[in-house]
């Protein structure tokens, strides 16, 4: 099963960029690059999509089309949720 991750952030957000590399590396290590679809979404360009998912603050992360993290998670919490997806 492929896992689709969408990260909603504003361009130039240093707080977002600082941890996204760690989260992506954790996802690749757990899921494998071939099963991972990672997309960083500019919330200003995709505002309707973000609102439809329930994004109210940034950064936020959706997994397989469902908002799973309304705020930036720790790497451990992110890994724990991904581990439940198989």
CA distance linking residue 14 with residue 28, whole number of Å: 22
Question: Do 20 and 40 meet the contact criterion of CB atoms below 8 Å apart?
Answer: yes
Mean pLDDT of all residues in the chain? 90
Superfamily of domain 3-83: Glutaredoxin (3.40.30.10)
Question: Model's pTM, two decimal places?
Answer: 0.90
| 76 backbone dihedrals φ, ψ, rounded to 5° | -65, -45
Rg value, the chain, Cα: 12
* pLDDT tens digits, one per residue of 10-57: 888 776 777 888 999 999 999 999 999 999 999 889 999 999 999 998
The residue with greater pLDDT, 86 or 82, is 82
């Amino acid at each position: 099963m492929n896992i689709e991750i969408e990260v909603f952030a504003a361009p130039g957000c240093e707080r977002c960029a600082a941890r996204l590399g760690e989260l992506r590396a954790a996802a690749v290590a757990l899921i494998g690059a071939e099963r991972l679809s990672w997309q960083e979404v500019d919330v200003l360009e995709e505002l309707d999509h973000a609102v439809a998912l329930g994004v109210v603050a940034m950064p936020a992360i959706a997994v397989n089309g469902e908002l799973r993290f309304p705020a930036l998670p720790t790497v451990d919490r992110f890994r724990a949720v991904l581990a439940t997806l198989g």
